[in-house]
Amino acid sequence: MATFSRLQKIALLSLGAVGGSLAYYSIGKSEKKYDVKNSWTTNYAPSVKWNKNWDHREPASLVKPKSGKPEDENRYNEQLEKAKSKAVRHLILIRHGQYHLDGATDKQRILTDLGRQQAEFTGQRLASLDIKWDLIVRSTMSRAQETANIIAQHLPKEIEVKDCQLIEEGAPVPPEPPVGHWRPEPKQFFQDSARIEAAFRRYFYRAPPEQKQDSYTLLVCHANVIRFFVCKALQFPPEGWLRISLNHGSITWVSILPSGNVVLRSLSETGHMEPKYITSR
């Protein structure tokens, strides 16, 4: 009959203690205690922490620091409270409808019949949400302009409408992993990345302290721009933007909370269309 040493017996007993919260290992006369976690989430340290001041509007960064004097405490607390955001900024990002890819110029790359139908469905969906829209921002490219105009027919006439060249389609940053069939010139990334980054800074930020009510801004633009915005807003590596697929006429909803936290409420939503109307390329 086989015999086991004291050390082997201890090792065998240890294997049976996996489900417990503590495990003890004895080696010779010394004894060591180790915490064994029931779930990886209880022993997890994030590799990258959330940058609370991503929009440079974190209240503590806007207020003069405390001087260390007791009488300065009230001043600091009052200014800190005044600098805090009190409302939610909702950004609803719409990708244009399907368009003619064979157009030689932007004016010729207009929506197809299906693309116009997709814009109609999206306009109807947005109208059904019964939201008090504050602003519609349109890319200046033809397919986005046409999509926005169709959508606007379903929304109240008094909504302010603005055109913005910053949210035109482009190449935000070289994607990782690379895509073999799509390789813009390095100069295009250099030019487009600065423009699209500027667009992000223009529209993505927490509500200013004087804003009392939640706001809803509609941006009608393009897939590359929206995908880059989503990565940036969630503080994901922006090089991963091309891993996201967006349907034509889709709705992507981002909410910026008063705390500066960002919530992605929907991504490429096209549930308002029958499957036969859904396209992405």
Per-residue pLDDT, 210? 96
pTM of the predicted model as reported, rounded to 2 decimal places:
0.82
The verdict on 149 and 205 lying in the same domain is yes
**Beta carbons of 98 and 112 less than 8 angstroms apart:** yes
Conformational region of residue 191, where left means phi above 0, alpha means psi within -120 to 50, and beta covers everything else: alpha
Q: What is the pLDDT of residues 58-97, one digit of tens each?
A: 999 999 998 888 888 888 999 999 999 999 999 999 999 9
The verdict on 110 and 186 lying in the same domain is yes
- The one-letter amino acid code at 236 reads F
Q: What is the pLDDT of residues 184-232, one digit of tens each?
A: 777 888 899 999 999 999 999 999 999 999 999 999 999 999 999 999 9
Helix (H/G/I), strand (E/B), else coil: 27: strand
The verdict on 69 and 184 lying in the same domain is no
Domain-located, residue 12: no
Per-residue pLDDT, 27? 43
Q: Is the pLDDT of residue 7 over 50?
A: no
Per-residue pLDDT, 186? 79
Distance, in Å, from the CA atom of 58 to the CA atom of 51, rounded to the nearest integer, reads: 10
Domain-located, residue 2: no
Residue with tokens 């110029």: 105
Per-residue pLDDT, 194? 95
Dihedral, CA atoms, 151, 157, 158, 164, nearest 10 degrees? 40
Pull the structure tokens for residue 247. Answer: 């349907």
Distance, in Å, from the CA atom of 135 to the CA atom of 175, rounded to the nearest integer, reads: 31
Q: Is the pLDDT of residue 4 over 80?
A: no
Domain-located, residue 183: yes
Q: Is the pLDDT of residue 28 over 90?
A: no
Residues above pLDDT 90, as percent of the chain: 72
The verdict on 164 and 189 lying in the same domain is yes
Per-residue pLDDT, 35? 57
Lowest-pLDDT range, 47-51, 105-109, 141-145? Answer: 47-51
Distance, in Å, from the CA atom of 15 to the CA atom of 11, rounded to the nearest integer, reads: 7
Q: Which domain holds residue 245?
A: 89-277
Q: What is the separation, in whole angstroms, between the first and last Cα of the chain?
A: 71
Domain-located, residue 261: yes
The verdict on 114 and 78 lying in the same domain is no
Q: What is the pLDDT of residues 228-249, one digit of tens each?
A: 999 999 999 999 999 999 999 9
143 annotated to a ligand binding site: yes
Written as one string, the DSSP assignment of 53-117 is TTTS--HHHHSPPP-S-TTHHHHHHHHHHHTS--SPEEEEEEEPPPB-TT-SSGGG-PBPHHHHH
The verdict on 266 and 127 lying in the same domain is yes
**Beta carbons of 87 and 211 less than 8 angstroms apart:** yes
Count of structural domains, the chain: 2
The verdict on 193 and 142 lying in the same domain is yes
Q: In which element (H, E) is residue 266 found?
A: strand 262-269
Q: What is the pLDDT of residues 145-188, one digit of tens each?
A: 999 999 999 999 999 999 999 999 999 999 999 887 777 777 88
Beta pairing class for 89-95 and 215-221:
parallel
